[in-house]
């Protein structure tokens, strides 16, 4: 079955090559599918061999353990990379880059999704995480999600109220998202560009974009902001080996070079404990942690 995959199959592939944090041990079996059939072959192989499957997109929200990931890792960035525009709707593959999609839509005077600009993501990862900002999240624009069940059969999901919530999408268990339909809005290119420039300027001013990170580590607790709580605990700039609670934005942990997953997890433990002790607030991770 692995032999039928037309894309790439690698063994012991370091996942630090595929995560924005540049951290992570090796995946036992790493598959970069070329198309939906390749994904099916990988899923069928995993099912036959009773191996777990993990899906990654751009790796921008992932902390991978230092001892790597057992089983099969499917990486969809660079696969299913087509976007087709039909009137005010776009049908986008899971591997499409979110920022490329926003740019392509803008060139056709289609907007609405500007609130998602500057979020490094594939469409699959953006859907799985319900990526967004206080001005809106991707779920606001989704009219259908297409996916494969673990047995390789195709599914279609029509979102209803509650399908997309804060940094979560209630996808069917084990689903590999392969694409979606997004509703866009007609808007002049110049207006979209102005909006995008302003949003990117704000991001650059407030986030440590020059350093390797996973974006915000913690969800904001109800009626508060995680960065404020961590900063109030005096942890801004706190370092452990190559890892640092960013001195620019306390909800980011950056890899200044040579940090391990263990370092990141230790800083997370410290922030969680201090915030609990000072404010009685239990921080919940926004990032996804996989592997050993």
Ligand X SMILES: Cc1cc2nc3c(=O)[nH]c(=O)nc-3n(C[C@H](O)[C@H](O)[C@H](O)COP(=O)(O)OP(=O)(O)OC[C@H]3O[C@@H](n4cnc5c(N)ncnc54)[C@H](O)[C@@H]3O)c2cc1C
Residues with catalytic function: 167, 216, 286
For ligand X, the closer CB: 45 or 157: 157
Outline where 23-72 has alpha helix (H): 36-49
Number of residue whose CB is nearest ligand X: 125
Q: Which residue has the tokens 């997109």?
A: 57
Instruction: Give how far Cα 135 sits from Cα of 104, 113, 116, Å.
Output: 21, 10, 9
Which of 104, 49, 57 has the alpha carbon at shortest distance from 82?
Answer: 104
Outline where the chain has alpha helix (H): 36-49, 98-107, 123-129, 189-206, 226-232, 261-279
* Residue 177 interacts with ligand X (CB under 6 A): yes or no: yes
Query: How far apart (Å, rounded) are the C-alpha atoms in residues 28 and 37?
Result: 21
Identify which range of 125-133, 180-188, 227-235, 256-264 contacts ligand X by CB under 6 A.
125-133
Identify which range of 38-46, 102-110, 128-136, 194-202 contacts ligand X by CB under 6 A.
128-136
Q: At closest approach, how far in Å is the CB of 177 from ligand X? A: 3
Among 23, 31, 32, 56, binds ligand X (CB under 6 A): 56
Which of 62, 54, 287, 35 has the alpha carbon at shortest distance from 178?
Answer: 35
For ligand X, the closer CB: 136 or 189: 136
Among 25, 33, 132, 291, binds ligand X (CB under 6 A): 132
For ligand X, the closer CB: 192 or 212: 212
Long-range contacts formed by 254-262: CB under 8 A, 24+ apart: 254/208, 254/211, 254/212, 254/213, 255/21, 255/22, 255/23, 255/211, 255/212, 255/213, 256/211, 259/21, 259/23, 260/23, 260/66, 261/23, 261/24, 261/25, 261/63, 261/64, 261/65, 261/66, 261/291, 262/66
* Residues numbered 219-278 forming contacts with ligand X, rule: CB under 6 A: none
Q: At closest approach, how far in Å is the CB of 278 from ligand X? A: 26
Identify which range of 35-43, 212-220, 242-250, 254-262 contacts ligand X by CB under 6 A.
212-220
* Residue 33 interacts with ligand X (CB under 6 A): yes or no: no
Q: Which residue has the tokens 């060139």?
A: 107
* Residue 94 interacts with ligand X (CB under 6 A): yes or no: yes
For ligand X, the closer CB: 163 or 276: 163
Backbone phi and psi for residue 19, each to the nearest 5 degrees, phi listed first: -125, 145
Q: At closest approach, how far in Å is the CB of 162 from ligand X? A: 18
Among 63, 176, 259, 275, binds ligand X (CB under 6 A): 176
End-to-end Cα, the chain, rounded Å:
26
Q: At closest approach, how far in Å is the CB of 280 from ligand X? A: 26
Q: At closest approach, how far in Å is the CB of 156 from ligand X? A: 14
Question: Rule CB under 6 A: which residues touch ligand X?
Answer: 20, 55-62, 76, 94, 119-122, 124-126, 128-129, 131-133, 176-177, 207, 209, 213-215, 288
């Amino acid at each position: 079955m692995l032999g039928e995959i037309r894309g790439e199959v690698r063994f012991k592939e370091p996942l630090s090559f595929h995560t924005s944090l540049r951290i992570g041990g090796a995946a036992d079996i790493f598959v970069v599918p070329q198309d939906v059939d390749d994904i099916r072959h990988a899923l069928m192989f995993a099912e036959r061999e009773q191996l777990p499957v993990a899906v990654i997109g751009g790796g921008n929200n992932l902390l991978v353990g230092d001892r790597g990931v057992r089983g099969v890792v499917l990486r969809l960035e660079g696969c299913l990379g087509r976007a087709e525009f039909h009137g005010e709707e776009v049908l986008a593959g899971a591997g499409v880059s979110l920022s490329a999609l926003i740019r392509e839509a803008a060139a056709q005077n289609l907007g609405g999704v500007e609130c998602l600009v500057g979020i490094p993501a594939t469409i699959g990862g953006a859907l799985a995480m319900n990526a967004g900002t206080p001005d809106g999240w991707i779920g606001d624009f989704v009219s259908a999600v297409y996916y494969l069940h673990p047995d390789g059969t195709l599914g279609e999901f029509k979102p209803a109220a509650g399908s997309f919530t804060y940094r979560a999408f209630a996808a069917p268990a084990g689903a590999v998202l392969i694409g979606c339909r997004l509703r866009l809005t007609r808007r002049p290119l110049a207006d979209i560009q102005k909006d995008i420039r302003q949003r990117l300027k704000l991001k650059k001013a407030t986030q440590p974009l020059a350093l390797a990170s996973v974006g915000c580590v913690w969800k904001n607790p109800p009626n508060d902001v995680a960065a404020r709580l961590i900063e109030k605990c005096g942890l801004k700039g706190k370092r452990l080996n190559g890892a640092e609670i960013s001195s620019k934005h306390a909800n980011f942990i950056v890899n200044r070079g040579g940090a391990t997953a263990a370092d990141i997890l230790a800083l997370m433990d410290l922030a969680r404990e201090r915030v609990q002790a000072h404010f009685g607030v239990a921080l919940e991770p926004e990032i996804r942690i996989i592997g050993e």
